[in-house]
């Protein structure tokens, strides 16, 4: 499967302008409210966030994804290193154990979309995918929130989490 090749071809054609409630189900996985942030002019990267619940009896693993208009995506995590936020790739992806919900959110795990070819504008809903080790590639739409947003519309309680800070 090479979804990125196809997505590049479709990049400019498929930017949707209608935001909608975005929940998805694929097999045992419930995918809740994928979202990203509006980008400033010239920005080449954006972070994608989503909550994924595993209702099944076997673990799965989020290994990557894609966003229309982006050249690629990696799974990243943010960590506090002596008071400084750093991010690093998570090459093996994120395990989602049976019965667990994994949240990708500001200050923590996220998808990093790279090589953006167009700005992300608040209110858009942009097609993309999430890729899982077992469930495969799932089509989703990422709602574009405002630049300062710390959480999606359905996730008000999520805030930057500095609890690990010394
Ligand atoms: Cu990142």
Q: How far apart are CA 51 and CA 77, in angstroms?
A: 15
Q: Exposed e or buried b for every residue in 53-74, given b needs 16+ CB within 10 A?
A: bbeeeeebbbbbbbbbbbbebb
32 near 154, Cβ under 8 Å?
Answer: yes
- pLDDT, one tens digit per residue, over 39-69 is 999 999 999 999 999 999 999 999 999 999 9
**Does the reported pTM lie above 0.95?**
no
Domain boundaries along the sequence of the chain? 3-14+22-145
How many Å lie between the centroid of ligand 1 and the Cα of residue 127? 19
Compute the Cα dihedral for 25, 102, 35, 115 and give only its sign: negative
Q: What is the pLDDT of residue 18?
A: 41
Task: Go through the chain and tell me how many residues it has.
Answer: 166
How many Å lie between the centroid of ligand 1 and the Cα of residue 136? 22
How many Å lie between the centroid of ligand 1 and the Cα of residue 108? 9
- pLDDT, one tens digit per residue, over 2-33 is 555 555 544 444 444 343 468 999 999 999 99
Q: How far apart are CA 142 and CA 100, in angstroms?
A: 22
Element (H, E) at 5: helix 3-10
pLDDT mean over 31-37: 96
Q: What is the CATH number of domain 3-14+22-145?
A: 2.60.40.1890
- pLDDT, one tens digit per residue, over 132-156 is 999 999 999 999 999 877 766 443 3
- pLDDT, one tens digit per residue, over 71-120 is 999 999 998 888 888 899 998 999 999 999 999 999 899 999 999 999 99
How many Å lie between the centroid of ligand 1 and the Cα of residue 155? 20
How many Å lie between the centroid of ligand 1 and the Cα of residue 34? 16
């Amino acid at each position: 499967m090479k979804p990125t090749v196809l997505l590049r071809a479709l990049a400019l054609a498929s930017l949707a302008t209608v935001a909608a409630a975005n929940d998805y189900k694929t097999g045992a996985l419930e995918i809740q409210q994928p979202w990203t942030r509006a980008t400033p002019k010239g920005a080449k990267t954006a972070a994608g966030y989503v909550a994924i619940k595993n209702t099944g009896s076997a673990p799965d693993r989020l290994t990557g994804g894609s966003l229309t208009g982006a050249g690629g995506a990696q799974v990243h995590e943010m960590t506090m290193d002596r008071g400084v936020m750093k991010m690093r790739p998570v090459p093996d992806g994120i395990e989602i154990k049976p019965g667990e919900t994994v949240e990708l959110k500001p200050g923590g795990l996220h998808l990093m979309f790279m090589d953006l070819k167009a700005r992300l504008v608040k209110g858009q809903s942009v097609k993309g995918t999430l890729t899982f080790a077992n469930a495969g590639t799932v089509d989703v739409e990422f709602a574009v929130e405002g630049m300062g947003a710390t959480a999606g519309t359905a996730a008000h309680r999520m805030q930057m989490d500095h609890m690990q800070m010394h």
